[in-house]
Amino acid sequence: MPIYEYKCNACNANFETLVMGSSIPECPSCDSKDLSRLMSACGFISKSSGSSGETQVKSSAGSSGCGSCSSSSCSSCGVG
């Protein structure tokens, strides 16, 4: 199950949460849904799901976070 790191745009709180499907979590501090997905670890998904082969980061609606993790470069989260 994917754990995503979010940054709240309302109160700038950072938190990690499990994400079920395309559900949008709420900020635990202020209940805002104005969040930016950070994705705590770029290689997390590919390592945990070896059967899928290639890393597949499904960019759900409004993925303003680290959407380029599936490629070789990942400037958004500063890894690689």
CA angle, residues 62, 4, 69, in degrees to nearest 5: 65
DSSP 61-77: TT--SSTTTTSS--TTT
Q: Report how far residue 37's alpha carbon sits from residue 60's, in angstroms, rounded to the nearest whole number.
A: 11
Nearer to Zn ion by C-beta: 14 or 52? Answer: 14
- Minimum CB separation of residue 12 from Zn ion in Å reads 7
- Minimum CB separation of residue 46 from Zn ion in Å reads 30
Site for Zn ion in 19-78 (CB under 5 A): 27, 29-30, 32
Binding site for Zn ion (CB under 5 A): 8, 10-11, 13, 27, 29-30, 32
